[in-house]
Amino acid sequence: MIQPGSPIGVVGGGQLGRMFTLRARAMGYRVVVLEPDPRSPAGAVADRQIEAAYDDPAALAELAESCLAVTTEFENVPAGVLAFLGERVVTRPGAAAVAIAQDRIAEKERMRRAGLATAEFRPVRSPSAARSAFAELASQPAILKTSRLGYDGKGQALVTTPEECAVAFESLGGVECILEERLRLEAEVSVVLARSEDGSVAAFPAGENHHRFGILETTVVPARIPDTLATECRAAAEAIAGALDYVGVLGVELFIAAGGRVFVNEIAPRPHNSGHYTLDACATDQFEQQVRTLCGLPLGDPRLFTPVAMVNLLGDLWARGEPKWDRALAVPGVRIHLYGKSEARPGRKMGHLTCTADTPDRALALVLEAREAASTP
């Protein structure tokens, strides 16, 4: 067990790193951030920032020497970096699990081996393979995605013919891709859980998600789905964590389709955007769980105190100047979380609002009202 007061580290300086750092410092830990951006959100609230590339050997050695344990805030840190750190200091999650999450093909194959349903898929490594993969999938249209590095709707294309699929493969840079069946969704759900080294699991309630232009817009908790489906979603998330022998906080995205069947979409080996509601509505939030799993502390209580909804605040909201936060905060039950980013850009996550209420529907209506109020001239 790594006691409060000890130094711990995080690779990555974005908003997830910031919220991890704030929670860790509130618990008494000292935090070192490795991040090349000198104005990073996490670095601004950490005890120290090492300004260097994530794969800089000297910086990684310095991070390992400075800390008793290290985690990451994003899945695209090279798995080799975590392997390097793991040989020198407690590193959670481990390189093996993160490597699988970085590759959509490996991820889907591991889910299938764990007995979990996914959309039908085919690897695509050439234009001819793109054509044949499209012809093999039972349903059309389909979605072509880069196997690595895509997020928030980036690195993917909707395709409706074999030729479109081949052209899309070239437009995505000719890198390894995966072609996925496009399911007719009845709901999008996520489960965020924490798993400790001894295999104990604490799962937060399933959240119901809505995306806009590929970016998460809102999360409503508890998800407005039957209890049996919520239980099945949680079981699927726990099965994935067990199959990966995962230690840390894990986000699992799932689809409800085909008349109430649960399909696993993808995983995030870190706290998840859809889990931000835990900061204001749960006995223990996802970032405290990240600290606890990293430091070998007992898992916290994931209990939900009240229905809650979250809405992301994208840079578009700043198009007409600083949003009117006083108007947003005048809405009952609303709280604001801003990430300290230096520049607002369209599509960039700048913060989020949460709202607690007596029902999920009421929470969602109020949080959307608050966002609208903030954007009104």
Low-confidence ranges of the chain (pLDDT < 70): 138-139, 150-153
- Percent of the chain exceeding pLDDT 70 equals 98
Tokens of residue 29, six digits: 């830990």
Place of tokens 């080799």: 80
How many distinct helices (H) and strands (E) make up the chain? 12, 18
According to the model, what pLDDT value does residue 137 have? 86
According to the model, what pLDDT value does residue 156 have? 86
According to the model, what pLDDT value does residue 76 have? 80
C-alpha–C-alpha distance, residues 288 and 19, integer Å? 9
Whether the Cβ atoms of residue 21 and residue 42 lie closer than 8 Å to each other: yes
According to the model, what pLDDT value does residue 351 have? 98
According to the model, what pLDDT value does residue 376 have? 81
pTM: 0.94
The closest of 183, 182, 174 to 146, measured between CA atoms, is: 174
Domains and CATH numbers, the chain: 7-91 (3.40.50.20), 120-181 (3.30.1490.20), 185-375 (3.30.470.20)
The one-letter code for the residue type at 270 is R
pLDDT tens digits, one per residue of 133-166: 999 886 678 999 999 876 656 788 899 999 999 9
According to the model, what pLDDT value does residue 138 have? 64
The dihedral over CA atoms of 347, 172, 271, 30, expressed in degrees to the nearest 10, equals: -90
According to the model, what pLDDT value does residue 152 have? 59
- Laid out side by side, the sheet with 156-159 consists of 121-124, 177-181, 142-146, 156-159
According to the model, what pLDDT value does residue 36 have? 96
